[in-house]
Structure 1
């Protein structure tokens, strides 16, 4: 079951990542972030648009990006239903906003370690499958985020301890950020992790209790 709470639960048709506990954790972190009403916010990998909606409800100018056309249209529809303005763009991570800058970046990227034998993720699996170490997209975000953040800007990103938060912090520090884990939550395995639990145990990544810990990483670019 998802722990996601929202004034209006976004629609999530088949093939689009539905808001879950990781979404809920990141929405909570966003609620604690001081934001000017006219701040520019980027939601990278928006899925159904839950994070974009949460930011837009605070009066910020929000751009939501996803590689999936189905996700882009879903986020656009959800913003219309919620009555908040969200600009949606289709593309790979920061490519659709090249040349622009933002005060805040939100991201719930793919982060689940994936057996190498699996084929290239398609459909909904693009929202979670992230290579053998779970860092296929995480490392790119750490490397590329500074290009689109303004001085003093903040990156809020959620992922699992299975994909190595210490490495995330190290990559962000190397990129010039001040970074720390600010929120944590342990949750039972969902369907994706249950299906690959044996493989994860063989790699020493999980214990017998079949629970994972989610973390929110907050990284601030110095002024």
Structure 2
């Protein structure tokens, strides 16, 4: 997929590809209501729109929202892209499918709020700054039989994600897994993650998981 990705906007990577593959397993009919949380350049939103979804894409970054609108126009698909903090722009709405590739990298400076481009990956000391909010808020926006697809690293505790989603009344499971090479952010934090017991000295890959939950 050829996308325009301006500076400061998350470039689609292995987690995007893994979530796109998961999207292929969800039947989309014309007019299916889809929400893409943290859309970045709009890669997932565009894919869902191509398949007939009626897509809303949300991002806290102005650049990401503008990039998504431009990429949708260039691709000839309709995507409603709005700026806001996670689910606040769609309060009161409901969706058949919610997708999220949120920030999930543990941050040694987790006490501070991430700024700029780092908002696309930094997620607090335990990597769950945004994940826990999605687990709390997204189930309430799912229609009956609606599906949530969520990708993140095992460094951010998938069992906790499953527990939260099941507590919210959803059927949740790990639908896919993939080992990927460290990117520059994880390479720069390898020593700190090793000290926390999350990595060994020889680790040079992280495992990503796609969690699928259904109402």
**What is the match of residue 62 of structure 1?**
55
**What is the match of residue 76 of structure 2?**
83
Measured on the aligned residues, the alpha-carbon RMSD in Å equals 1.0
Q: What is the distance in 2 between the residues matched to 1:63 and 1:209?
A: 38
Following TM superposition, where does structure 1 have runs of at least 4 consecutive aligned residues deviating by more than 2 angstroms? 116-120
Pairwise CA distance, 1:36 = 1.7
**What is the match of residue 143 of structure 2?**
150
Q: What is the distance in 1 between the residues matched to 2:87 and 2:111?
A: 26
Pairwise CA distance, 1:209 = 2.4
Q: Is 1:97 matched with 2:83? A: no
Matched residue SS, 2:93: coil
Q: What is the distance in 2 between the residues matched to 1:81 and 1:199?
A: 42
Pairwise CA distance, 1:76 = 0.5
**What is the match of residue 131 of structure 1?**
124
Matched residue SS, 1:173: helix
1:192-203 equivalences under 5 Å are: 192-203=185-196
**What is the match of residue 212 of structure 1?**
206
Q: What is the distance in 2 between the residues matched to 1:117 and 1:192?
A: 14
Pairwise CA distance, 1:117 = 6.1
Unaligned residue ranges in structure 2 (runs of 5+):
none
Q: Once structures 1 and 2 are overlaid, which stretch shifts more, 140-149 or 162-171? A: 140-149
Q: Is 1:115 matched with 2:108? A: yes
- Give the 3 Å change call, closer, same or farther, for CA 194–31 of structure 1 in structure 2: same
Q: What is the distance in 2 between the residues matched to 1:69 and 1:196?
A: 28
Pairwise CA distance, 1:106 = 0.5
Unaligned residue ranges in structure 1 (runs of 5+):
1-7
**What is the match of residue 10 of structure 1?**
3
**What is the match of residue 184 of structure 2?**
191
* Contact persistence 2:110–2:125 (CA under 8 A): no
Matched residue SS, 2:114: coil
Q: Deviations over 1:193-215 (max 9, x none)?
A: 00111000000111222210000
Q: What is the distance in 1 between the residues matched to 2:111 and 2:138?
A: 28
Matched residue SS, 1:215: strand
